[in-house]
Structure formats: structure tokens, C-alpha cells
Amino acid sequence: MSIESQETLPRLEPEVATQVRKVSPGNRSRTRRPIIIGGTILLSAGFAYLIYSGIRSRLSAEKGLEQTVQLTSVTVVNVVHPTKGSDAQAIELPGNTQAFTEAPIYARTSGYLKQWYFDIGAHVKRGQLLAEIETPELDEQLEQAENQLKTAEANLQLAQITADRWVYLEKSSVVSKQEKDQAVSDLNAKRATADSDRANVARLQKLQEFEHVYAPFDGVVTARNTDLGDLIQGDNTAPKELFHLAAVGKLRVYISVPEVYATAIKSGETVMLTLDAFPGEKFTGTLVRDSSSIDLTSRTLKVEVDVDNPTERLLPGAYAFVHLKLPAATGAVTVPTNTLLFRAEGLRVAVVREGQTKLVPVTIGHDYGSTVEVLNGLIAEDAVILDPSDSVMDGSRVEIAESAQTKPAATKNQ
């Protein structure tokens, strides 16, 4: 507005001047400002709502798409069928072969070794002479004892005659009863002395018989610990083993069976044995007896297995493995360990049924390393998924690989 117009305003009528001020540019701008701010806020809110609606719609669409993909996607899996029966029910336990009968041979008389007749590895029969011992001191003791016995027998004979005479005279009262009793008592003493000397002679004769060392049973000489001229001590303080004899026609193998398998041991059952010395060969043994008690230290049952060894190929002291077959639980099957799923709710396996996965709870029995025994939850006809994904769920659609369909139904465990 120009200066001239401002100067003329006061001349106007008061009502007209008031109307002019209302429509002046300054008053007009102050009136429009709240309207503009309110419009801006409404526009911003509308724009934000549009963005939120778009994002929500997009997330919902993605989630639906993901569910659709999960429902419609088909995963190709490899499956295996559980093994029926007890092929996997076997354990392998180590043991040492021992001679069925073996004994160290000691001398029972003192002297010097005069001669030996069999060395290590020799097969001997029962009663064969193994060695001779020279016993000069024993021979002299025996001779002395025999002479003492002769003296005692002579004194006994004289005492017998005297006693008989005094008994006869006492009847006619020629001698007193006291004299007769003394004669009879002297006879009894002489008889006891003769008996003692006779027993001493018998003892020395027995010791003299031990100059010859004989084999107590058929077997093989596994050790000879003496030689010509060796001093032989026949006492029990420091005995020296002359020979070691072992019967190897039959061998014993002792094994320690874990407590969990103890109830499966039955006497008379046939078992298989393998030895590192004979790779690829198997030998037959028999469970003959067990200790009928669990060792508190090792928690094992001691079991004896007898093995016939007519050709003597198996040697005592060899390291052997005894293969025991254990009875399988009724309805139990075995599956590979890479089929198991460890979930928070328990052990599961994924089974393919009607083109979908089913997580089946299972109970494990024995663990055989690469396979496990499943006591319940599976049957031999089930198709169990190998190496299932940790994210596998119930109801997922899967397809069995063609290679898996052509595989044998079960794999034998060694």
C-alpha cells in the first residue's frame, strides 16, 4: 500500500477502515499458516500409512510364498530299511589261549642231576622218564635206616621170646606178675621202635624213587630249566623247576564278558574264534563254564571257552578273539547311526510314509558302533531317511532317490 493511501485511511469512515484492515496482506498470511501446517501433517500421516500398509502387505505375501514353497517343494532323500534279526547281535572279546593241563615239574629229593632225556618241544607220554637225579647222601641214609631196622627187629624178636616165657612162668607162680608185666611192656616198646624204623626206611625208599623224574601226563615240554651236574634241592624253601609240561591237545580261553551281556552266556553253546596269527581262518570253541559271579573290580563275568587242537596248530599263550552272538530282543531291528535325530523331546528317526516325513520316537538297545539296536518304534518295512537334515519336520514332502530304491532292503552288519 502506498504512503498516499496510508495517509488517506484516517479520512475514511471508521467502519470502512476496519474492513480495509481485515483484508490487508499481513492479516491474510497469519490466517493461512495453521491451515498449511495442518495439511502438511495430514499428508505426512497419509504417506506413512501408505508405506506401512505396503510393507505389511509385502511381508505377508513373502510369508505366504514361503509357506507355499515349503508345502509344494519336494526334497529328494536316500533311505535305508532296518535290518531284521540278530546279525548285528555279536560282540568280540579278547582272550589268551592256555594249555588245558600244564604243570611245573619239581624234584622231591636232593642231589645232582645225573641225566635229562627230553628238551623243549619234545612230546612225551605219561610215565616216561624225563631225568635222573644222583643222591649219594640219600642212599647212605637209606642204608643206615635199613640197618637200624634190622637191629630193631632183632630186639623185637628177643623181647617177644622173653615176654612169652614170663607169661608161661607166671602161670605156675615161678615169676611174679610184676616181672611178667615188665617183659610185656618191653615187648611193646621194641615193637614200636621197629615200626618207627620200618616207616623211616619206607620214607627214604620213596625219596629214592624220586631220583627218577617221570611225566605226569601226555604233553609237550615247554621249558627245561636244568642241566647235567646242577644241584637239586628237594626242600620246599627254594624249589627249582626242572621242566614245564603242557597238554595242548585241547586249549582253554578265558574271556571277561561285560555285565550287561552276562545273562546271554549259556554253557554248551558253540562260538567262533579268530587269531591274528591265522588271518581269515576261524576256529570253533565251546562255552563250558563261567564263574557265576560278577567281578567287583572289572564288572565282568569270567567265562571259559574250550577249543579242540588235535593238530596242535594253536599255541598256548596266543592272543585270540572270541565272537559271541547275543540273542536279539523280540521285534528289535538295527539301523545305521546316521539315521538318528537328537531332539529336545527325545530321540527320533525320520521315516518316509506316503511321500511325507514322519518323525518317529525310538528306544535304543545295544550300540554296535556304526549301527544301533532299536527296540521299538520301527519295523523292517519302514523307509528310514539317511543323514536327515536337522530342520526336517513332520509332513514335509519328500521323494526317495532312485538309487535308494534299487538298494537292497537291508545291509548285513559284520
H helix intervals, 297-401: none
The side-by-side arrangement of strands in the sheet containing 111-116 is 212-214, 129-134, 111-116, 231-232
Share of the chain above pLDDT 90, in %: 44
The per-residue pLDDT for 234 is 82
**105 - beta bridge partners?**
243
Which grid cell is 289? 563254564
Range 319-330 average pLDDT: 83
The per-residue pLDDT for 1 is 45
- Taking 50 as the threshold, does the pLDDT of residue 123 lie above it? yes
Higher pLDDT among residues 58 and 116, named by residue: 116
Say which range, 42-56, 298-312, 370-384, has the weakest mean pLDDT: 42-56
Q: How far apart are CA 368 and CA 390, in angstroms?
A: 23
Which grid cell is 55? 510393507
The per-residue pLDDT for 404 is 52
Task: Give the residue carrying C-alpha cell 518316509.
Answer: 352
The per-residue pLDDT for 158 is 92
> Taking the C-alpha atoms of 259, 264, 269 and 271 in order, what is their torsion angle to the nearest 10 degrees?
-60
Question: pLDDT grade, residue 164 (50/70/90)?
Answer: confident
DSSP 176: -
Task: Find the helix or strand (DSSP H, E) in which 100 lies.
Answer: strand 90-106
Cβ proximity of 255 and 319 under 8 Å:
no
Crossing angle for the helix pair 177-209 and 136-171, to the nearest 10 degrees = 160
- Taking 80 as the threshold, does the pLDDT of residue 305 lie above it? yes
**253 - beta bridge partners?**
97, 305
Q: How far apart are CA 343 and CA 386, in angstroms?
A: 16
- Taking 90 as the threshold, does the pLDDT of residue 172 lie above it? no
Question: pLDDT grade, residue 345 (50/70/90)?
Answer: confident
- Taking 50 as the threshold, does the pLDDT of residue 350 lie above it? yes
For the stretch 246-271, pLDDT in tens is 999 999 999 999 998 888 888 899 99
- CA 5 from chain centre, in angstroms, equals 120
The per-residue pLDDT for 124 is 95
- Taking 50 as the threshold, does the pLDDT of residue 82 lie above it? yes
- Taking 80 as the threshold, does the pLDDT of residue 24 lie above it? no
- Taking 80 as the threshold, does the pLDDT of residue 398 lie above it? yes
For the stretch 287-301, pLDDT in tens is 999 999 999 999 999
- CA 232 from chain centre, in angstroms, equals 46
- Taking 80 as the threshold, does the pLDDT of residue 114 lie above it? yes
State the DSSP string of 105-126: EE-SS-EEEEEE---TT-EE-T
- Taking 70 as the threshold, does the pLDDT of residue 18 lie above it? no
Beta strands in 160-218 (DSSP E): 212-214
Backbone angles phi, psi at 382, to 5 degrees: -70, 145
Give the distance between the most distant pair of CA atoms in the chain: 209
Question: pLDDT grade, residue 16 (50/70/90)?
Answer: very low
Q: How far apart are CA 255 and CA 302, in angstroms?
A: 6
- What's the whole-model pTM score? 0.57
Range of 71-80, 239-248, 400-409 with top mean pLDDT: 239-248
The per-residue pLDDT for 50 is 67
Question: pLDDT grade, residue 126 (50/70/90)?
Answer: very high
Higher pLDDT among residues 174 and 59, named by residue: 174
Task: Give the residue carrying C-alpha cell 610215565.
Answer: 127
Range 348-353 average pLDDT: 90
Task: Find the helix or strand (DSSP H, E) in which 289 lies.
Answer: strand 283-294
For the stretch 175-227, pLDDT in tens is 788 888 888 899 999 999 999 999 999 999 998 999 999 999 999 999 999 99
- Taking 60 as the threshold, does the pLDDT of residue 409 lie above it? no
Beta strands in 184-332 (DSSP E): 212-214, 219-224, 231-232, 241-258, 270-275, 283-294, 300-308, 319-325
The per-residue pLDDT for 304 is 95
Residues near 316 by beta carbon (within 8 Å), at least 6 away in sequence? 97, 98, 99, 102, 222, 246, 248, 251
Cβ proximity of 253 and 100 under 8 Å:
no
Strand, helix or coil for residue 270: strand
Residues near 190 by beta carbon (within 8 Å), at least 6 away in sequence? 152, 155, 156, 158, 159, 160
Range 379-387 average pLDDT: 88
Residues near 231 by beta carbon (within 8 Å), at least 6 away in sequence? 112
Range 314-333 average pLDDT: 85
> Taking the C-alpha atoms of 35, 38, 42 and 44 in order, what is their torsion angle to the nearest 10 degrees?
110
